[in-house]
Amino acid sequence: MNGKRIVVTGATGFVGIYVVNTLVNKGYHVVAGVHRLSAGSVFPSSEHITIAELDILDRNSVMAAMEGADVVYHFAALVDSGSSKDLLSRVNVEGTKIVWECAAACGVKKALYCSSTAVYGLLAKSDGAITEEILPRAIEPYGRTKLEGEQVALDLAARYGLHTTIIRPVAIFGPGEHTPFGKKLRDAALSKLLIAGAFKKKKFNYVQVEDVAAAAVYLMEKYLPNGEIFNITVNTPILYEEAFTAYIRVLSRLGRPFIRVKIMALCSLYLHKLPMMLKWISRLFGESFLFTIWRSGFDYNYSSTKLLNTSFVFKYTEFEEVFYSCVETK
């Protein structure tokens, strides 16, 4: 069994759980950082998991969790873009600063920072897919704080000699998925009136949560230069229309009725041709009834060529299988 001791912040988060399980399955001893010790019950009883109460804004709890650690995976973050700018900054920027300073003080050798493709911003321009070489220009609070967190991690990595890798996942899907983009897509397909016209011929990228965790662990096991940044996404985007068709196929595989979904899609098509009616319905019901699935920035395409060039292989590449993984246990 591997003798390395690894700390995972945000261990009970959407991605953190999979990172912990991936590491344990590979034989590492994992310190799972959780806000409350009772939250550690989500993990199976194992001699290879230690549950530690860890608040990334509490330096003492971070230091205690990192004692004797070799590697840190930093997944604790505030992802709710509706939160105040101050709170987002405290958690995503100041929290990262505390984690990197404590890691350096405890002699940690390597650290991974989970960022987001939100750092590229809605103003990112590229004739092709957006690569890691594109200059990030985040304009909304969440993306800005993740970009600031990246810079904090890289600055401290250079100052203390703490080898740091950064990953930028796109919209993440999977069991228990709760990211805003993915949730809106799923809810729109399964329960709301889908306004289809605005996203014709537009594409989006996606990634399954197990692949995010696997990529994180894979990159940390490789000998990479300090400060490397990787987009984490299935490299070929999918048309929104194709994604909706995949929803229908998944419902059929599950033996669930999908006539209502098709009727809603048909209604969406005709409503889009009646802008005044659509405007009236939007004012009256808002997103409690309908959802305009395309938003500015949703159709930027991202490249994972750099990751693929390391020989990493995605487990989930077909969107139908990704979506099926989200709903098969529900």
Question: What domains sit in the chain, N to C, each tagged with a CATH number?
Answer: 5-169 (3.40.50.720)
**Cβ pair 114, 19 in contact under 8 A:** no
Residue at 143: amino acid letter: G
The 10 Å CB-count burial string (b at 16+, else e) for 145-184 is bbbbbbebbbebbeeeebbbbbbbbbbbbbbebebebbeb
Strand order through the sheet with 163-169: 49-53, 29-34, 5-9, 71-74, 110-114, 163-169, 228-232
Residue 213 has, within 13 A of its CA and on its CB side, a CA count of 23
Model confidence pLDDT, tens digit, residues 117-166: 999 986 555 567 899 999 898 888 889 999 999 999 999 999 999 999 99
**Cβ pair 254, 327 in contact under 8 A:** yes
User: Per DSSP, which regions of 57-152 are E strands?
Assistant: 71-74, 110-114
SS3 content of the chain, % helix, strand, coil (to 5): 45, 15, 40
Q: 131 in helix, strand or coil?
A: coil
Give φ, ψ of 120 to 5 degrees. Answer: -70, -30
Model confidence pLDDT, tens digit, residues 47-57: 889 999 999 99
In this model, does residue 329 exceed pLDDT 70?
A: no
Q: 255 falls in which pLDDT band (50, 70, 90)?
A: confident
Residue at 310: amino acid letter: T
Model confidence pLDDT, tens digit, residues 274-308: 667 766 766 776 655 555 544 555 678 899 999 99
Q: Which of 73, 264, 56 is nearest to 165 (CA)?
A: 73
Q: What is the pTM of this model?
A: 0.87
Q: Which of 71, 35, 54, 4 is nearest to 219 (CA)?
A: 71
> CA-CA distance, 273 to 68, in Å (whole number)?
63
SS (H, E, C) 176-216: CCCCHHHHHHHHHHHCCEEECHHHCCCEECCEEHHHHHHHH
**Cβ pair 179, 171 in contact under 8 A:** yes
Torsion angle, alpha carbons of 2, 232, 124, 155, to 10: 0
Model confidence pLDDT, tens digit, residues 213-252: 999 999 999 999 999 999 999 999 888 778 777 877 887 8
> CA-CA distance, 58 to 271, in Å (whole number)?
51
**Cβ pair 240, 204 in contact under 8 A:** yes
pLDDT at 317: 94
In this model, does residue 40 exceed pLDDT 50?
A: yes
